Amino acid sequence: MDVRHDTTAASVAAENAPAASEAGLKDDPIVSGAAPAGRNLLAHYREFLPVTEQTPLIGRGEGFTPLVRAHALEKRVGCAELWLKLEGCNPTGSFKDRGMVMAVAKALEEGAEAIMCASTGNTSAAAAAYAAAAQIKAVVVVSAGKIALGKLAQALIYGAVVIALDGTFDDALRIVREITARNPITVVNSINPYRLQGQKTAAFECSDVLGDAPDILAIPVGNAGNITSYWMGFREYRRAGRTTHLPRMWGFEAAGAAAIVENRPIENPDTVASALRIGNPANWQRAVRARDESGGLIDTVSDPEILDAYKLLAEGEGVFAEPASAASVAGVLKLAAAGEVKPTDRIVCVLTGHGLKDPQIALDVARDVVPAPNDVREVEKLLDLR
């Protein structure tokens, strides 16, 4: 497996030195090739972000995540190149950190003392972490019993007030919208425009590391913020002359929560991918625009397809991503089987969150542990040795 992140990114960026220095990035370590430690996402991409002199450049090490080549999957899909964007390597284990650092920085700039969000889990973990880092208050509203254990543990240990609502994510978002509209609390769901601004940096990174945009960007779709962000990022980079073309955006909803594909809100969204249990995506229309403007598609993947891809990523590539993330790979496998992938295609699959977020699913679908007596011969026997 090729791993392209820090050092390769630096050399790719160095090859593109003229563009980089014109853009005022010449002092940035990723361009100069110096050690990447301590890079700040908001500073690095500031010319593309709503960063002003007054914006505090907070950070917890978000962004600059690895883009790794997945040879086994590539063969199975039958494309030229298949890359995985490992967003689980962000500090709270998901892509939400990119948007949250931007949203909290702007909230601080505006003097906010509290933030609030509804969440299927990862947004709550990120909101809680960045609020703690910024020493402001966080309130997160989740659907009771519906979020993965790791995410709940994160929100709690970072010190957020966690409200477990007797309702769905969509109910939680409606309540958060109302409360933040009439109280001095900043909403940090992706209806906050700064969230999408921060998240678009992942599209910049893919382009920087590959030297151009991919042909296809495959991504899970829940509330539809991330597909919107990537599309914004790819368009801005193209406009700035950093890339020569735009990718087709391939979004994948879980079949039991497929409002966009079915063109109707889903009252009780259900899927094994708890992060995607969203029945009325906030960025619905923008996701449709990303799909149509890019000549892409939004399709569904079933729970069995998601879990197959989840296991394939772990066993076949050594990459542990949460089930929601595996939707991008499941979707590419599905479309490859339908003859939609060309042998020349260069594909990036976004793996949005870390597998450790939801350890129970892994235990449910993986092989069992092998119990053994405390005896070397017995252990050997169990391993079919001797």
Measure the CA–CA gap between 75 and 25, rounded to whole angstroms. Answer: 37
Q: Which is nearer to ligand AN7, 59 or 121 (CB)?
A: 121
Note whether 192 binds ligand AN7 by CB under 6 A.
no
Residue 9 phi, psi dihedral angles, 5° rounding: -55, -40
Note whether 222 binds ligand AN7 by CB under 6 A.
yes
Interface region with ligand AN7, contact rule CB under 6 A, candidates 130-138, 216-224, 309-317, 377-385? 216-224
CB of residue 220 vs ligand AN7: minimum separation in angstroms? 4
Site string for ligand AN7, 261-290 (x = CB under 6 A): --------------xx--------------
Q: Which is nearer to ligand AN7, 208 or 322 (CB)?
A: 322
CB of residue 128 vs ligand AN7: minimum separation in angstroms? 11
Residue 238: Cβ-neighbour burial (10 angstroms; 0-12, 13-18, 19+): middle
Measure the CA–CA gap between 298 and 296, rounded to whole angstroms. Answer: 7
Identity of the residue numbered 285: Q
Of residues 62, 205, 322, 345, which one binds ligand AN7 by CB under 6 A? 322
Of residues 122, 207, 271, 294, which one binds ligand AN7 by CB under 6 A? 122
Measure the CA–CA gap between 196 and 58, rounded to whole angstroms. Answer: 17
Q: Which is nearer to ligand AN7, 17 or 179 (CB)?
A: 179
Measure the CA–CA gap between 281 and 118, rounded to whole angstroms. Answer: 12
Q: Which of residues 328-367 bind ligand AN7 (CB under 6 A)?
A: 352-353
The sheet with strand 3-4 has its strands ordered as 3-4, 67-69, 81-86, 346-351, 216-220, 248-254, 297-301
| Residue pair 297/218 in contact by the 8 Å Cβ criterion | no
Q: Which is nearer to ligand AN7, 221 or 272 (CB)?
A: 221
- The structure tokens listed for 94 are 């998901």
Of residues 59, 66, 121, 269, which one binds ligand AN7 by CB under 6 A? 121
Measure the CA–CA gap between 69 and 312, rounded to whole angstroms. Answer: 14
* CA distance between the termini of the chain: 33
Measure the CA–CA gap between 42 and 32, rounded to whole angstroms. Answer: 18
Note whether 94 binds ligand AN7 by CB under 6 A.
yes
Q: Which is nearer to ligand AN7, 30 or 155 (CB)?
A: 155
- The structure tokens listed for 41 are 């996402």
Q: Which is nearer to ligand AN7, 190 or 243 (CB)?
A: 190
Interface region with ligand AN7, contact rule CB under 6 A, candidates 38-46, 156-164, 176-184, 222-230? 222-230
Catalog residues that contact ligand AN7 under the rule CB under 6 A: 94, 96, 119-123, 190, 220-226, 275-276, 322, 324-325, 352-353
